[in-house]
Chains A and B, each alone.
Chain A
Amino acid sequence: MAVTEESTSTFEAPLPPEEARDASSGGVIRRTLHSLELDTRMFGLILAMLVIWVVFHFWSGGTFLTPRNLWTLTVQTSIVAIMATGMVLVIVSRNIDLSVGSMLGFVGMFMALMQAEWLPAILGFDHPWTWVITLIAGIILGGLIGLFQGAIVAYAAVPSFIVTLGGLLVWRGLLWVMARGRTIAPMDTTFQLLGGGARGTVGGTVSWIIGVVASIAIVLLLIARRRNRLKFGFRVRPLWADVVLMVLGPALILGTVWFLNQYYLPIGLAEQYVEDNNLDLDPATLEIPFGLANLVLIALGTAIVMTFIATRRRFGRYVYAVGGNPEAAQLSGIPTKRLIMYTFMTMGILVGLAAAVQIARLNSATAGLGTLQELYVIAAAVIGGTSLSGGVGTIFGAVLGALFMQSLQSGMSLIGLETQVQDVVVGVVLVAAVAADAAYRRRLAR
């Protein structure tokens, strides 16, 4: 690496007055965060989550911070997280989608019927193509529903609140009509793997490989970014800050993989594993990690792709521009209507994906599938820093918001609170989070 201490300091010496003021104001933590270019609000959310984890750990008698519980937490977070990444773009563009829960139900039921009844009638049971055809059909259906709702919002100028409130009722109703209130089960055996059951995981070794590849990618991205900025002669982070990030990022990833990999197959599944692989081993002494669940990888992949779209592509830039100042966006020649329509289509595609994962995980589809999910998805985005007035929000924040909410619910379950009481707490936390955020913004504005 051609980066030296000297080359960085030359770009740091003539600190412009305003940036200098930023960097020198506030305490050590603030200054450090500034150097690392980390968002103080995101840092606050992560800190609050860590506090919750520790509190629940002791309150539940040491059952929260266990590989088993955190592994389950990642699985439970994924479905809301997948949809929250799309909700961020919808909300950033000054819209809302209240229909995602009902849509998830409708598309989920459609996929359930397709793989349990329609396709088997043509292809026979457990045909190897069933899962792919079903998955693609579901994602397309989700995209079309989103496109349809988005077209009404954009071109008929009906507020998205109303369009998707209508959608909430319509898709829930049509779901019932489609299945006549039946419960459809079981799912195709391959399709089930999407849901991350006992077999729907990648195992310990692959988890390690994914962790290592992700770590290398982080280091390479940081180096590439630094080189690129130096090439143009821009200010870069202090070298120590980049090095800290290059150590911290991979450490976090590999630490997580290490921790989750200590969740081993229970004895029954271990026996099955030994039998399946014709191993001459005693299952009772084997420690076979589950590894990351498939749906967790799907959620992570979704978050990465959506972050890329939001920050590195024109589409994402325009979504933020429309949210920041719709008039300015239009005067700049941005096709704002088409753009709004496509944000809803993106949301629909993600709902289709989430629906697939959800029915695979439940191994069934019911008339109540996805009920109230829209509220959790919106809450995740908002807790993660997405502003309902538009223009502001990150994919990473929304995923963090989903994890935060799921941590609360999971912790409350462990200490034996009823789900109704859990709802009370989640509701209060949602309002408190937004109030804290508003207070923070006011302080910034002063």
Chain B
Amino acid sequence: MTTEIATRTLVEMKDMSVSFGGVHAVERVTIDLLAGEVHAIVGGNGAGKSTLIKTLSGAQRADSGTIVIDGEEVSIDNPRVAKGLGIETIYQTLALAENIDAPGNVFLGRELTTSIGNLDDSAMEDATRKVMSRLNPQFQNFKVPVASLSGGQRQSVAIARAVHFDARILIMDEPTAALGPAETEQVRALIRQLKREEIGIFLISHDIHDVFDLADRISVMYQGRIVGTVQKDDVTIDQVLAMIILGKKPGEVTQSELDELHG
């Protein structure tokens, strides 16, 4: 039963290009995302991962290329448009207002209000408690500024914010970068949970173990281009590392290059 759903394409990005001045940050990149899939995008610093993904979340305009969501071409000019399409982004920097509590952050920019336009804090807390009971049942600190929460709890808030609004497409930029081992495991469990809910996830990560633990497919970027997109089960960690470092597909790497890599 899952095969039919799992092959449903949520996002197709075709020939995306972004340049800053004369530098091609992203050059003619084509990539897609299926429902219930974690598609990892990996690559070195400056490979263009974040820039590519920002064109989908509305934080960066592409110079050229098309984005197709559910078979329809769309123009994503700003974060609001992206959110309207069910695309939610969890940024590397978390993008939480540290001085505001969890419900305030979950609903930031989309507050629930009463009929006369007053903030309905109780309704927001109630909704946040419901999302959290699904994502992170241990979470209880709903009335304190998120600055006083641990890294893992803050990440739960960031994720709750994305999933509460029925995201179908989730972009996670380094979701475990700032976390300790236990918290990392918590976030990994969360991602598996979201996968089961048929959400498509673009996962950007430096952590090759995260990638191999969570991803279904892996796309490697090198100097603004896609080196290749592979099924995780078809490759080894070494092969992916070679793609990241050398910018070549497994078949194109010579033995001497591999030796150098290990040496």
Contact = CB atoms under 8 A, between A and B. Distances in A.
B73 interface: no
Contact of B108 (A16, A17, A228, A329): A329
A370 interface: no
A176 to B, nearest CB: 41
B18 interface: no
Interface in A314-336: 314, 317, 320-321, 323-325, 327-329, 331-334
Q: How large is the interface on A (under 10, 10 to 19, 20 to 34, 35 or more residues)?
A: 20 to 34
A391 B98 contact: yes
A19 B59 contact: no
B263 interface: no
A229 to B, nearest CB: 7
B140 A317 contact: no
A234 interface: yes
Interface of A: 16-19, 228-229, 231-232, 234, 311-314, 317, 320-321, 323-325, 327-329, 331-334, 391-392
B97 A320 contact: yes
Contacts of A392: 99
Contacts of B111: 314, 317
Contacts, number: 81
Contacts of B97: 320-321, 324-325, 328-329, 391
A324 B79 contact: no
A320 B100 contact: yes
Tell me the interface secondary structure of chain B in the complex: loop
Given A314-B113, A332-B108, A228 B122 contact: yes
Interface of B: 59, 78-80, 83, 89, 91, 93-100, 104, 108-111, 113, 117-119, 122-123, 125-126, 140-141
B119 A331 contact: no
Given A232-B126, A327-B95, A333-B79, 5 more contacts: A19-B141, A232-B125, A317-B104, A332-B108, A333-B78
Given A313-B118, A317-B111, A333-B79, A323 B99 contact: yes
Given A229-B122, A313-B119, A331 B99 contact: no
A74 B177 CA distance: 53
3 smallest beta-carbon distances between A and B, as pairs: A16-B140, A332-B109, A324-B99
A265 B171 CA distance: 70
Contacts of A17: 140
Given A18-B141, A232-B126, A332 B95 contact: yes
Nearest to A316: B119
A359 B173 CA distance: 57
Contacts of A328: 93-97, 108
Given A320-B99, A324-B100, A327-B95, A234 B117 contact: no
Contact of A324 (B78, B89, B98, B140): B98
Contacts of B59: 331
A331 B95 contact: yes
Nearest to A387: B99
A14 B25 CA distance: 52
Contacts of A325: 95-98
B100 A321 contact: yes
Contacts of B96: 325, 328
Given A312-B118, A314-B113, A333 B141 contact: no
Contacts of B100: 317, 320-321, 324
B98 A19 contact: no
A327 B141 contact: no
Contacts of B104: 317, 321
